[in-house]
Amino acid sequence: MKKNERCLAILEILQKQHKVTVTELSEKFDISEMTVRRDLNSLAREYNIARTHGGAELGNQPVVRMISFDEPRIAHKEDKDKIAALAATMIQNGQRIFIDAGSTTRIILNYLEKETRAVVVTHHLAVAEHALQFENLAVIMLGGDMIRITNCSSGPVAEEQLKKYQLDTAFIGAAAIGSDGKLYDGYSPEARLKGTLFSVAKKIYVLADSSKMNTYNLNEFGSLSQIDGLITDANIDEEAMTLMKRHRVNVIIAE
């Protein structure tokens, strides 16, 4: 089993039983305890799990992927800037658009022309605050339960509110795009909200840098066959391009 597959399996175990031991995981995956410790240390840097002396614990909460909001620390930032800039050029006057909390999508407004007239719907506080700086943008912030880690609203209230809207375009991120053609997120409420968009948006574009290709995460929220385009960087490899062609995805390269 590859490391990423094993790490996802560990997260699923934590989701179910809330704690694990190094010895338990070593026996389950037939790997050394040192390898288990490295896996747990890696997961603790990316997810809301706590390392303990003999393993790791989650507590009575869902697994959440920790999204960095410290812009200088965001990985592949140059590629993400190019992707966001290209996406901004696709927003037309009079459109109703959705922007999610992804590390690429949330910077789209950095590149939007000040004269653009549109309605921006979002569940991310920083996106809403940024959009309010544009005199010609109407801004709708979804309600619901606020996630402290990500500064986003989520849950049934946000999902039901979103279902009442008709959107022209949704720009969403993905924590991973699997070789199975599925789109993944690291947090189940976020995944459910993204899944709702497929029934309310005329067009959906996924913004994902090439490092997200052929990887997996915890929660599936859609498939490549459901989207209108993938905006990515020029480093996308042949394997990923073959996957996109198989699912007839319009790949838009941000140079």
* Element holding 52 (H helix, E strand): strand 50-52
Q: Are 18 and 52 in contact (CB under 8 A)?
A: no
Q: Please report, in tens digits, the pLDDT of each residue of the chain (255 residues total).
A: 888 789 888 988 998 899 999 999 999 999 999 999 999 998 888 788 899 999 999 877 777 776 555 555 556 789 999 999 999 999 999 999 999 988 899 999 999 999 999 999 999 999 999 999 999 999 999 999 988 777 899 899 999 999 999 999 999 999 999 999 999 998 788 899 999 999 999 999 999 999 999 988 888 999 999 999 999 999 999 999 999 999 999 999 998
CA atoms within 13 A on the CB side of 70: 3
Q: Which residues contact 230 (CB under 8 A, 6 or more apart)?
A: 177, 205, 206, 208, 224, 244, 249, 250, 251, 252
- Residue type at 87 in one-letter notation: A
Sign of CA pseudo-dihedral 65, 126, 163, 105: negative
- Residue 183, pLDDT score: 96
CA distances for 151 relative to 23, 82, 132, 163, 217, angstroms = 36, 24, 17, 21, 21
* The two structure tokens encoding residue 219: 């929660």
Nearest to 105 by CA among 84, 125, 126: 84
Residue with tokens 């339960």: 145
CA atoms within 13 A on the CB side of 32: 3
Q: What is the dihedral of CA 110, 223, 175, 242, to 10 degrees?
A: -90
Q: Parallel, antiparallel, or unpaired: how do β-strands 201-207 and 219-223 relate?
A: unpaired
Q: Where are the domains of the chain?
A: 3-57, 71-254
- Residue type at 237 in one-letter notation: D
**Residues pairing with 43 in the sheet:** none
Q: Are 210 and 79 in contact (CB under 8 A)?
A: yes
- Residue 115, pLDDT score: 96
CATH fold group of domain 3-57? Arc Repressor Mutant, subunit A (1.10.10)
Class of 71-254 in CATH: alpha beta
Task: Tell me the chain's radius of gyration from C-alpha atoms.
Answer: 19
Nearest to 253 by CA among 88, 82, 106: 82
Q: Which residues contact 2 (CB under 8 A, 6 or more apart)?
A: none
Residue with tokens 């699997």: 178
Residues making up the chain, counted from first to last: 255
